[in-house]
Every structure is written in C-alpha cells, then in structure tokens.
Amino acid sequence: MTRMIDCQQVKMQFKGNLDPILTNINLQVQEGDFVSIIGKSGSGKTTLLQMIGGLLEPTAGEVKVNGTLIQEPIDEITYVFQKPVLLEWRNILENVLMPLELKRRLTKTDIEQAREVINIVGLASHENKYPHELSGGMMSRVTLARALLSQPKVLLMDEPFSALDAMTKEQLQIELMELSNRFSTTVLFITHDITEAVYLSDRVVLLGDQPAQVINEFSIPFPRPRPKELKFDVAFTKIIKEIHEQVEVNGGAT
C-alpha cells in the first residue's frame, strides 16, 4: 500500500519564539486511511496540517505527500478550513464546480458529477441557492462536496464540523465517511471531539503539549463505513474512555 503522507523528524519554530511548537514529528498515513489528530488547544495540530498542505514550511525535517517533498500547495491535496469559504456571488452548484473550473474547461460530465455529489450531501433541491440563503450545516455540506468533487488524493480537514449542532454534525460525519470511501480519499482530520475522532478514523493520533510530539496512537478496529449505532457499542466506548484517560494524563482537555 502506498504511503500517502510521510512526516519525518518535522519541527516548527516560529521566528522570534524561543521554543518550537512542534518537534520530532514522525507521522505516516497510508493511502485510503482516515486519521484524526487530537490534542489540547495550542498543541500545534493546525500548524502540522498547514505544513502537510504546503502552507507552512517546517523549520527542520521533511514532509512528503505521495512521494513529493512538500514546499508549497500541490494539486493532489485539498484543504478544508474550519469556517466554510464560499463565493457569495456563486450558487451551490457553481461553488462546488469552482476548483475544476479554475483548472480547465468544464464538461457535461463534471456538471453531472457535481450534481451527484450535491445529492449525496443532501442538497439536491438547493443547488441554485446562494451562500446567504444557507444555514451553517448547508454551507459545510457545500464545502465537503466541493472538496471531494476533484477527487484529491489527500484531504486535510481542520475541525470542519466544530461549529455545528450535534444532529447536523452526526449527519455530516456519515456523509464524509460515505464520500471518502467512495473516492478512496486519504483523510487527515483535526478535531477536539474524541467521539468524532474514533467514529470516523482508522487511527487516532494524540499530540502532547508544546513542543508537541506524537505521544500515542490508537488503532480503531471497526470497518468503515460505520453505522451511527456503533457509538453505543461497549467496545467503541471503551476506546473513547482509553483516549480520554491518555488526554488527561498528557495535559487535560482537547
């Protein structure tokens, strides 16, 4: 299996700071895997994601994606920020198609596939609406559809569901699993929600306090996609308890 993300001895120290944010980060993610990163606020989760996405250059070490040394953003990676970023003058369909439109002339197949993905995320009857007409959950769905339409090899997601209500969040988790499995996308996902991390992931990575390092990894044994009822399974809650205990030992709440 292809190693899609490979971080070797990665360190990040911002100019003017005496101490690094991250140090000795070694993280490997195989093709098609879904990996979540958790850790207390300020532990460097977003900084790590930005280095993998080519938005920041590490102070030391190297980051490779699909064998390419990352020094800038590349087409194989799509980055989803915490807050949905949509163009107000474009409707849902046009926003979803935008990344493809920037690369080449759109085809009939592109439009059909966009409509199909919009349908999967539950927005089929809303494709002509504009961002100001959408709820927060609907905007997150548009962002998800847009991210996966271009079928990136790697999808980097920085707490994309953190601002949503519990019911909307749960539905989007299901849709993300369905879409990432369908397109065989490798996903690196940041969250403060341990239940969310366990539900979505093949593996959960815990970062320690600054300078942050990978201090533990947890393999999640349930096949994906997963039914929402899994969250009530004794084996599932046992893993959540184990991770909570590790988080408490290493610096408190995420």
Per-residue pLDDT at 253 = 54
Mean predicted confidence (pLDDT) in 15-44 = 87
Per-residue pLDDT at 243 = 93
Query: What region does 243 belong to: left with phi over 0, alpha with psi -120 to 50, or beta?
Result: alpha
pLDDT-derived band of residue 63, with 50, 70 and 90 as boundaries?
very high
Q: What is the DSSP string of 169-186?
A: HHHHHHHHHHHHHHTT-E
pLDDT-derived band of residue 108, with 50, 70 and 90 as boundaries?
confident
Q: What average pLDDT does the chain have?
A: 88
Instruction: Report domain extents, the chain.
Output: 3-76+154-249, 85-151
Give the distance between the most distant pair of CA atoms in the chain: 54
Q: Domain 3-76+154-249 has what CATH class?
A: alpha beta
Whole-angstrom CA distances from 4 to 1, 33, 65, 181, 195 are: 9, 9, 5, 16, 25
What single letter denotes the amino acid at residue 52?
A: I
Per-residue pLDDT at 38 = 93
pLDDT-derived band of residue 251, with 50, 70 and 90 as boundaries?
low
CA 30 to chain centre: 15
Return the closest-CA partner of residue 61 out of 3, 2, 4, 6.
Answer: 6
Residue 237 has, within 13 A of its CA and on its CB side, a CA count of 5
pLDDT digits (tens, 9 = 90+) for 120-159: 888 888 889 999 998 888 888 898 888 888 888 999 999 9
**Residue 105: Cβ within 10 Å count:** 7
Answer whether residue 27 shows pLDDT above 60: yes
Structure tokens at 191: 């969250």
pLDDT digits (tens, 9 = 90+) for 196-249: 999 999 999 999 877 888 889 999 999 988 998 999 999 999 999 999 988 887
Strand 186-190 versus strand 34-38 pairing type: parallel
Per-residue pLDDT at 205 = 95
Looking at the chain, the whole-number percentage of residues with pLDDT higher than 70 is 98
Answer whether residue 60 shows pLDDT above 60: yes
Mean predicted confidence (pLDDT) in 178-207 = 92
